[in-house]
Amino acid sequence: MKPASLKLQFSAGGVIYRPSKEGPLKVALIATKGGSVWSLPKGVVDKGEDPESTALREVQEETGLKGSIVGKIGDISYWYFIKEENVRCKKTVSYFLMEYESGSTEAHDYEVDAAGWFPIEEAIGTAAYKGDKEILTKAKEMLHGLGGKPAGA
């Protein structure tokens, strides 16, 4: 068997937030793998598309929510293996902070099992992946700097 080749993949996603009348500010997460894994919405940057457009599109498709970009949170990179192609893939994801404009988490697409709003501290604890936890923590710091009042701030 020949050694695995390498592939680079670029994705973009977002942390969409909204103020909450009944408590702390909330952010949206998506559930996959039968609803057992909660994470941030993201997807592959299509040819000719910029990361900001990808992030807005993917957040809307996967959460049912439309937002506007407030700023870039940061990038995370990780490796995974694509067994069918015998390829090691380095994925870099750019994340953007987005303010909620409209939509409902009930309108998420078929790629996800569920989408929901979480107080930001709960989202950090619920997110399954280390990179998502880091991005959510950075988003919390950004929101605090914008005058938002996330839980625990």
pLDDT 10s digits, 6-18 = 899 999 999 999 9
Residue 59's CATH number: 3.90.79.10
**Residue 56 falls inside a structural domain:** yes
Tally the domains of the chain: 1
- Our measurement of the distance from residue 64's CA atom to the centroid of its chain's CA atoms, rounded to an integer in Å, reads 13
**CA atoms within 13 A of residue 44's CA, in its CB half-sphere:** 6
| Residue 134 counted as domain residue | yes
Q: Which tokens belong to 133?
A: 């936890």
The predicted-structure confidence for 67-119, as pLDDT tens digits, reads as follows 999 999 999 999 999 899 889 999 999 999 999 999 999 999 999 999 999 99
User: According to the model, what pLDDT value does residue 100 have?
Assistant: 97
Tokens 């069918």 locate to 84
Structural domain containing residue 37: 5-145
Residue 152 lies in a domain: no
Residue 150 domain-assigned? no
Secondary structure letter of residue 23 according to DSSP: S
Q: Is 141:101 a contact under the CB 8 Å cutoff?
A: no
Structure tokens at 22: 């009944």
In a domain, 151, yes or no: no
Question: Residue 149: its pLDDT value, please?
Answer: 47
> Is 106 part of a structural domain of the chain?
yes
Dist CA 7 CA 29 (whole Å): 27
pLDDT at residue number 152: 40
> Does the model's pTM come out above 0.85?
yes
- pLDDT over 50 (residue 151): no
Looking at the predicted structure, is the pLDDT value of residue 3 above 80? no
Residue 54 lies in a domain: yes
Q: At residue 146, does pLDDT exceed 60? A: yes
Q: Could you tell me which of 32, 118, 137 has the C-alpha nearest to residue 76?
A: 137
Does residue 153 sit within a domain? no
